[in-house]
Homo-oligomer: A and B are copies of this chain.
Amino acid sequence: MKRILIVGGVAGGASAAARARRLSETAEIVMFERGEFVSFANCGLPYHIGGDIQDRSALLLQTPQSFKRRFNVDVRVFHDVIDIDKVGKTLLVRNLLTGEERRESYDQLLLSPGAAPIRPPFPGIDSPGVHTLRNIADMDRILAALHRDDPHHVTVVGGGFIGLEMMEALHQHKRDVTLLELSDQVMAPVDREMANMLHARIREEGIDLRLRTGLASIEILDGQPEQTVSTGLRLILSDGTRLDTGLLILAIGVKPETRLAAQAGLELGPRGGIKVDASMCTSDPFIYAVGDAVEETDFVTGESVLIPLAGPANRQGRIAADNMLGRSETYKKTQGTAICKLFDLAVASTGLNEKRLLQLGLPFEKAYVHPGSHAGYYPGAHPVSLKLLFAPDGKIYGAQAIGKDGVDKRIDVLAVAQRAGLTVFDLQDLELTYAPPFGSAKDVINMAGFVASNHLKGDTLLCHTAEVQACHPHQQVLDVRNGPELDQLGRIPGALHIPLDELRGRLNELPREKELLISCQMGLRGHVACRLLSQHGFKVKNLSGGFKTWQMAVMA
C-alpha cells in the first residue's frame, strides 16, 4: 500500500489529494495543513471582507471531515511539517495544538506550501494594526480590527491583485483609503498606459492613490498630541511624508515558501521557487511540488517564472497526483492569464506585456482597439480597450484589456488563440457568437486582428503615442475627427484638423513633404484616412487606438 503525504491543504494540495483518491482506492493519503482550514476559497477572502460574500462559511469549501468522508483522506490541520528526510523518506511533523512531534514515512511526497506575503523589515513592521492577507485567520483579524478600532482611514500598500481587491473592500466599508504603490502603476501585468485607466477610476472613487510612493517605516501612535486618528499607526513614506492611519494592509507581493524544500536540499530555481520538471517532480524523484511555491515555465519564452495563481495550482495538483500514481502527464506551461475586478471595471491579461518584451529585447508590434462590448445600437454596450502584442510574423505575444463588460471573454479568446499557436491573421477569421446583446458581427477580437494584420501587411502602418509626442519636423499630426469631438474630448497639441469626410476635397491643404500621423478617436476613421491618403501619394501612419489611447498614455 502506497503512502502519499501532502504538505499544504489548499488549492494544489487539496486538488492533488482528491485526484489521488480517484486514481487509487488503496493508497494511504495524509494531508498536513499548518492552519485550521483546508481547501478554503483564498481568492474569496477580500470579497468577504468587503461584504460581497456575506456568509463566511461559503469560503470553507471542504472540512477535514468532509474530505475524510468523500475521499478517505486523513487531513491533519494545525500540523506543521518541519523537516523532510529525503533519504529515510520521512517527514517530521509537529502538532501545533499539543506540541507533539512525530516522524511520518512516505512513499511519495507532495509539497504545496504556497507563498507567503512579503513583510519587509521596515521599522515597526510587527506593530499591531499591520496586516497581510493569506488565509481565513488573516481575514478574521482584519475584520475584527475594522470592527474594534473602527478606523476612519486605512492604508493599503501594493497595487497588485490583492492590494486592489483590499482597497475596494475597505472602500466598501466607507473608510478613507490610501493606496501606496512604489512603481509608477498599479496592476503590473498590464502596461502603464492601460493602468492609467485604472488610476483614473480609483481616483474617481475618492481613493488617495499615491504612485511612486512606498513605505519606509511604521510607528505606533499612542495618544501623542499630533496624532490625527484616535488609535493607529504613523507611516513614514518613501518621499518622507507622514501618513497617520488606523489600519495597514501590506500587499506588496508573495514569496514562495521554500524553507522545507531548501532545507531538504531540493533544487531551487533561478527565481527562488522550488524547481520542478513538467511532471511537477522536484530534484528528488519521490517528491513532487505544485502551486505558488514552484517555478513554472513561461508559455511564450520558456523562462522560469513565479506565477502565484489558482488555476495553475489546481491543474498542477491534478497532474502531480497523476504522476505519483504511475501516469505520465505533463503541465503545459503558464501564460499567466489573469483578471481583476476594480469597481465596475475588469482588467485582464494573458501572455507577455510590453515592459517584458522590452526587457527581453524581442522585436514586437502592438495594436490598440476600443470597440463596444456588443453592438452599439443595443443598450448597455461599453468599450473594451484592448492592447494586442505580437511578433513581426504575427505570433501572439500577449494581450491586455480593460472595460465594464466582456473583458474576460476577449482575454479568454486570446489566451486560447495564443495557446493554440494562432496568429493575428487568424484572429480576423474567428467566428464568435454574435447577436446584438452579446457581440458584434465584427467582434473586438476580429477588429484587433484586422488592425494588426493591416499593419503587418503594410496596408496601414501603425504609430503610437511616443512617436506622436516626439513628432519630428518631417512629421505632422492630422486629426480627422469632427470639430465637436475635438472641443468635447480634447486635442493633440500641434495637430492639423480635417474631418475624415472632408478629406478628399481638402488634400491640397496637406503638406506633401511630411509624413502624416493620423489620429481619430478610436483608430477606425484613422485607418480609413490612411488608406485614402496613401493612395493619393501621402506617407501616413495611423495612431493606433486614436486619441483615446493617446489620452491614456499621456495621463499623469
Interface residue ranges, A against B (CB under 8 Å): 11, 18, 21-26, 41, 43-44, 47, 52-53, 58-59, 61, 66, 69-72, 161, 299, 309-315, 332, 334-341, 346, 348, 350, 375-379, 407-409, 411-413, 415-417, 419-422, 426, 428-439, 441-443, 446, 500-501, 504, 527-528, 531-532, 535-536
Contact = CB atoms under 8 A, between A and B. Distances in A.
A432 B434 CA distance: 21
Nearest to A315: B429
Nearest to A500: B70
Given A314-B441, A378-B44, A535-B26, A413 B411 contact: no
A439 to B, nearest CB: 7
A415 B433 contact: yes
A103 B334 CA distance: 62
Contacts of A11: 441
B44 A311 contact: no
B348 A43 contact: no
A160 to B, nearest CB: 12
22 contacts: A21-B531, A24-B535, A25-B532, A43-B434, A44-B375, A44-B377, A44-B378, A47-B436, A53-B377, A311-B431, A311-B443, A315-B429, A315-B446, A335-B431, A337-B432, A338-B433, A338-B435, A339-B434, A340-B435, A341-B437, A408-B433, A416-B417
A268 B478 CA distance: 48
Contacts of A26: 535
A520 to B, nearest CB: 12
Contacts of A408: 409, 433, 438-439
Contacts of A426: 419-420
Nearest to A25: B535
A101 to B, nearest CB: 31
A310 B434 contact: yes
Contact of A44 (B314, B336, B436): B436
Contacts of A161: 435
A52 B419 contact: no
A23 B25 CA distance: 66
Given A25-B532, A348-B433, A416-B417, 10 more contacts: A18-B528, A43-B441, A161-B435, A314-B441, A314-B442, A341-B438, A346-B438, A415-B431, A420-B420, A420-B422
A504 B72 contact: yes
Contact of A415 (B314, B428, B432, B528): B432
Given A41-B375, A53-B377, A70-B500, A311 B441 contact: yes
A172 to B, nearest CB: 13
B59 A377 contact: yes
- Which of A350, A433, A446 is most buried by chain B, counting CB atoms within 10 A of its CB? A433
Given A310-B434, A435-B341, A379 B53 contact: yes
A379 B52 contact: yes
Contacts of A379: 52-53
A488 to B, nearest CB: 20
A47 B18 CA distance: 48
Given A72-B504, A528-B70, A309 B434 contact: yes
Contact of A47 (B53, B378, B411, B412): B378
Contact of A312 (B310, B348, B431, B438): B431
A288 B315 CA distance: 49
Contacts of A61: 377
